[in-house]
Amino acid sequence: MTRTIGVSLKMYFGHQRTLDWCADVAEIARRHPAVRGGGAELFVLPSFPGLPPALDLFRDTPVEVGAQDLFWEDHGAYTGEVSGAELRELGCRHVEVGHAERRRLFGEDDRVVAAKTAAALRNGLIPVLCLGEERAGSTTDAVRTCLEQLDSALAAARAADRVGAVVIAYEPQWAIGAAEPADPEFIGAVCGELRNALDAEPVLAGSRVIYGGSAGPGLLSTLGDAADGLFLGRFAHDPAALERILDEVVALDGVSA
């Protein structure tokens, strides 16, 4: 099974540190058996100014580069915004939509998330659609919240008949920026239900369900096949930690082979 491993650098690094991190990760990707053998699909989301140099640094690797946000229109008088059309023109493959921090700090609501998801798909980008409940509770409640968010996020793309493969990043909001991820059994239960929902819709074929929220080395080995991969934040800041996660992909492949 191929594991999808995404990293968002959020706004943690300055420009030079972003370039140094990308160069280190590109060097790992060039030689690591998980990446070379296709066991791991890696995507990296730096800040906007980091995109062109990151695309250059990863050019001779299979690592995909994407953005952390986009605007819902493709062109026009929208000071300060960046369109999906421009991201695609640059060579981006992914774009993150609906992260809890954008909802909480920038007032993005379901309508905005749906418009941005549609803009991503319309421009040939894979939305990394962040879903997750606000407070810790039962798996049933978490699944219900995520399915409602998924439905709402895809509404505008459905209306435009532009639905396609997405990466769902299941991120319980209470586990983001925490010391530990959610309980692996809990993660597996929610990701399993999200997988069932995706499988029920042929138009979403090729979609992935990955887990984010204080994910780091060790989690993937525990999750096994319960999720399609991880969406990493702080615990991928050290490239060596990311390499350990890729080692886990190799070990898991060995187990399932």
Report if residue 115 touches ligand G3H, rule: CB under 6 A: no
Q: Is 99 among the residues known to form the active site? A: yes
Q: Is 108 among the residues known to form the active site? A: no
Report if residue 188 touches ligand G3H, rule: CB under 6 A: no
- Which one among 14, 52, 177, 224 touches ligand G3H, defined by CB under 6 A? 177
Report if residue 97 touches ligand G3H, rule: CB under 6 A: no
> Shortest distance, CB of residue 166 to ligand G3H, whole angstroms?
16
For the stretch 174-178, contacts whose Cβ atoms lie closer than 8 Å and that sit 24 or more positions apart, written own/partner, are 174/133, 174/134, 174/135, 174/136, 174/213, 175/132, 175/213, 175/214, 176/100, 176/101, 176/132, 176/212, 176/213, 176/214, 176/233, 177/214, 177/233, 177/234, 178/213, 178/214
Give the separation between CA 167 and CA 150, rounded to whole angstroms. Answer: 11
Report if residue 4 touches ligand G3H, rule: CB under 6 A: no
Report if residue 171 touches ligand G3H, rule: CB under 6 A: yes
Residue spans of alpha helices (H) in 99-238: 100-106, 110-122, 139-159, 184-199, 219-223
Which of these is catalytic: 86, 99, 108, 243?
A: 99
From 15-23, 83-91, 160-168, 169-177, span contacting ligand G3H (CB under 6 A): 169-177
Which of these is catalytic: 64, 171, 243, 248?
A: 171
Binding site for ligand G3H (CB under 6 A): 8, 171, 176-177, 212-215, 231-235
